[in-house]
Structure 1
Amino acid sequence: MAENETGNESAPRWLSEPEQQAWYAWRRMFPLVNADIARDLTQDSGLSEADYDVLSVLGSTDGHRMRISALAVLMQWSRSRLSHQLTRMEQRGIVRREEVADDGRGAEVVLTEQGVTTIMTAAPLHVESVRRHLIDILTPEQLRTFAEVGELLRTRLGVERKTR
């Protein structure tokens, strides 16, 4: 355990005023931005965030397909969560599961024609919402900083999860 300013290892390391401001800003900003974008997504295209996440990943792959196990890792979802999500999406006809021809153990998820149409229709509306609620509010310098901080945290947290 690291020693704090008082020299007492068991005392909490309270946040300084600037640290507290940063933490509160994050806590207030993230749910507001996320909720506005999620609301727009649902209103504009009838998709949930989870739907859009799966569709956008598959839409950017060759053949609009990916092994289910690789998709779960990429999205940082449990296999169970992804399986339930895919079931809901299959019921709406926007994805389907297929066995991998040369590997009887593996399965892929594939966008259907309806799924391709859905993501192609939703993506422009979604990016406009992201612009309206986040990107266009920040200066180019703030965007660079935001991206750097986000990547640093993602990388650090990803490493910490692997070591747990």
Structure 2
Amino acid sequence: MSHTRWLDDEEQRTWRAFLAAQRLVSEKVERRLQAGAGMPQAYYEILVRLSEAPDRTLRMSVLADSALSSRSRVSHAVARMEEAGWIERRSCPTDRRGQLARLTDRGFEVLAGAAPDHVESVREAVFDGLTPAQQAGLREACEAVVAHLSGGGEWPVTRDSGPDGPDPAHAS
């Protein structure tokens, strides 16, 4: 029989503070991004990941992993952004099963237009309320949680380490 490891008072307080902060920050940033740029945070995250990749291109599986999202959810989002002309999708030249997503010039323009207000909303929601020491503590705590839950893997995911080797979009 397993023994339930109940949260003590301090752990319960920490857990509830974490939940409240996460929900309030997510809601504020999402609402402002929707109002200002007309896109959800998930789309913004995909555009950012692609903008930071070599040739603004990532394998779809790497894009999903780096965005901490399911492949089907990212595929649906990419399809919508493809319709808007923000992303192009094409087959992977070295793996017929794989697909690549590439940020278009139009998608980069949309991202560049949304970024200043998005960054300001993040600054207002998180950083303006914390001292530099608290910011460092928050980063360390979040990185520890991510490492624990991801099995200590690389985060954010930046390259493909699948069975066919590195993604050609990341070749030097």
TM-score of the superposition, structure 1-length normalised? 0.85
- Could you tell me how far 1:72 is from its partner in structure 2? 1.8
Tell me which residue corresponds to 2:103. 111
Give the equivalent residue in structure 2 for 1:138. Answer: 130
Give the number of the structure whose residues are more often helix, by fraction: 1
94-103 vs 48-57, which moves further: 94-103
SS in 1 for 2:151: helix
The percent of aligned pairs where both chains have the same amino acid is 36
SS at match of 2:112: helix
Q: Give the Cα–Cα distance (whole angstroms) in 2 for the partners of residues 159 and 56 of structure 1.
A: 24
Residues 1-164 of structure 1 aligned to structure 2 (within 5 Å): 10=3, 12-159=4-151
Aligned-pair CA distance for 1:25:
0.8
Aligned CA RMSD, in angstroms, stands at 1.9
Structure 1: gaps spanning 5 or more residues: 2-8
Question: Which ranges of structure 2 fall in alignment gaps of 5 or more residues?
Answer: 154-172
In 2, Cα distance between equivalents of 1:54 and 1:43: 18
Question: Alignment length, in residue pairs?
Answer: 153
Segment drifting more, 35-44 vs 65-74? 65-74
What is the one-letter code of the residue matched to 1:152? Answer: A
Q: Distance in 2 between matches of 1:102 and 1:20?
A: 50
Instruction: Tell which has more relative contact order, 1 or 2 (C-alpha 8 A, sep 6+).
Output: 2
1:108-131 Cα deviation digits (max 9, x unpaired):
101112101011111111111100
Structure 1 distance, partners of 2:98, 2:7, is 48
**TM-score after normalising by structure 2:** 0.82
By how many angstroms is 1:102 displaced?
A: 4.5
Report runs of 4+ in structure 1 exceeding 6 Å deviation.
Answer: none
